[in-house]
Amino acid sequence: MLKSETFACRPKRIRPDSRISSSQATTVPATDSTRGDEGSMASGCCGNGGSESLGPLHAMDAPKEKILYVLCLQSPENENTKSGYIATVDADPESNKYGQVIHRLHTDDPQDELHHFGWNSCVSCKNPAIKRRYLIVPALRTGNIYIVDTIKPSEPSLHKTISGSSVQSRFKITYPHTVHCIPSGEVMISYMGDYRGNAKGSFLLLDGETFEPKGLWNQGNEQLMGYDFWYQPRHNVMVSSEFGAPKSFMKGFHVGDVAKGLYGTKLHFWNWEQRTLINSLQLPADGAIPLEIRFLHNPESAVGFVGCALGSTVYLVYKGEGETWEAKKVITVPPKTVENWVFPSMPSLITDILVSLDDKFLYFANFVHGDVRQYNITDPENPVLVSSVFLGGSICKGGSVNVTEDAELTEQPDRPSLKGVSLQGAPNMLQLSRDGKRLYVTFSLVTPWDLQFYPEACKQGSGMVVLDCSDAGMKLNEDFFVNLGGEPDGPVRGHEVRYPGGDCSSDIWL
């Protein structure tokens, strides 16, 4: 258990422009003006319409998700003969198939390594002819891009495949990652490597109707690494982050590669309208491997957060008083002193992070320690820990690791079980329901790292769970468990999660 009690803070609302100065962020009462420009959003929406088009707070009132789409990776025994797939999961508590996989759409190539995916359209798209219908599913290893039609939400089908080799041949880029719809109606995908597996950050544009590759969003000659990105048009900015060189991270994590410069340490700020790099900000050593970048959903906001994996820190990204973009550390997860592990000091390894649609809570997963955390961020400079739930990881009781010094826990946590199945691996990917009440969690990072840190999860498969969320904290829901270890063709592991209607990490309001 935690040495100190965690608690929920009384929320306050930051100014719409969310600029940070040396003084504490100013707050204003909650009014309709903080819900975003309704006129702008109504004209800009090309998703499903309805309340979500009016702004992020209105989107919280949209219908609850009833199905989930989950990317699934094969076990080591099957990965050379069976392809990964998009699992459709029943998430309706009133259904007799609640928590079960009801459909599987396999991709073409067993070597794909499905990782991240996104929608062809979201609330930012200005083209009324383009609707939220297709999932854009790039494969990490092969670079293949699968266009998946969800016209029948419970039975998605393959609409089109774009060959990864053709993208590599035309644009000299490999290892696609993040997918976002952009206001033009096009789809933008970030890339991390060149054809040799060296680090090369790039952004590919797909036509919004044919999905054919159109060209690079950026100039293509920038010397930088790639990973995630987020744009805030009202501030004419896009921010991108860095993982590392694919030839390094696709072999598992080797600490010596950090010193060799094969892992990322920078954030990149771009002029959104001109598509040019403004500045690259070098983070301190505890900002190494900055991964997911999430801005507040208020379109006026100039505040975002980035989770830094190796440093086990969260940095606040903000526009300073001089109109320059800056970053400061606001959360540190202390390492644990351990025995019987690869190093005597164990970092938490922050992976996925999310911000609730009301900009009140930040969630992130600690892939090595094994817990999911909830912070109140109504004062972005001073996040407050509300809740922490252990879902597995490297320090659970009964394992080989012995914790000898811990700044947070008084004892090692138990490994949880659901429906008679022990949770294998550790939490990695998160997806929050639009109303902020359900946090879905999966347990795979990327195959080489899964094999390195949690080989038992690769053999036995993992699952998907949901944490019930409130202002008072999080609690594991014991009624919902997707047992991916019991799949018909053998155990699999789940990665990113999406659902129809949008979510907390795919929609960007203008």
- Return all residues near 175 (Cβ < 8 A) that are at least 6 apart: 140, 141, 143, 191, 192, 193, 197, 246, 250
Q: Domains in the chain, ordered, with CATH?
A: 32-498 (2.130.10.10)
Q: Write the DSSP string, 362-380.
A: EEEEETTT-EEEEEE-SST
**Cβ within 8 Å of residue 180, ≥6 positions away:** 118, 122, 187, 188, 229, 230, 231, 506, 508
What tens-digit pLDDT sequence spans the chain (510 residues)? 434 333 333 333 333 344 333 333 333 333 333 333 333 323 333 444 444 557 899 899 999 999 999 999 999 888 889 999 999 999 999 999 999 999 999 999 999 999 999 999 988 777 888 889 999 999 999 999 999 999 999 999 999 999 999 999 999 999 999 999 999 999 999 999 999 999 999 999 999 999 999 999 998 889 999 999 999 999 999 999 999 999 999 999 999 999 999 999 999 999 999 999 999 999 999 999 999 999 999 999 999 999 999 999 999 999 988 889 999 999 999 999 999 999 999 999 999 999 999 999 999 999 999 999 999 999 999 999 999 999 999 999 999 999 999 999 999 999 999 999 999 999 999 999 999 999 999 999 999 999 999 999 999 999 999 999 999 999 999 999 999 999 999 999 999 999 998 898 988 998
CA distance 89 to 464: 10
Tokens 């820190």: give the residue.
313
Does residue 294 contact residue 16 with C-beta atoms inside 8 Å? no
The answer to whether residues 131 and 122 touch, using CB atoms and an 8 Å cutoff, is no
CA distance 351 to 290: 9
Q: What are phi and psi of 459, to 5 degrees?
A: -80, -45
Cα angle value 276/267/317 (rounded, 5°): 105
Q: What is the pLDDT of residue 43?
A: 30
Residues of 126-135 as b/e, b for ≥16 C-beta within 10 angstroms?
ebeebbbbbb
The closest alpha carbon to 89, from 481, 443, 454, belongs to 481
Token digits for 119?
């929608």
* Residue 213, amino acid: P
Beta strands at 276-282 and 290-295: parallel, antiparallel or unpaired: unpaired
CA–CA gap between residue 450 and residue 461 (Å, rounded): 11
Q: Give the CA-trace dihedral at 286, 303, 331, 470, to 10 degrees.
A: -150
Helix (H, G, I), strand (E, B) or coil at 438: strand
How far out from the chain centre does Cα 80 lie? 27
Q: Of 118, 110, 113, which is closest to residue 136 (Cα–Cα)?
A: 118
Residue type, 42: A
pLDDT at position 53: 59
Measured distance CA(131)–CA(468) in Å, rounded: 31
Tell me the two tokens of residue 224: 């930088």
Burial class (CB in 10 A: 0-12, 13-18, 19+), 222: middle
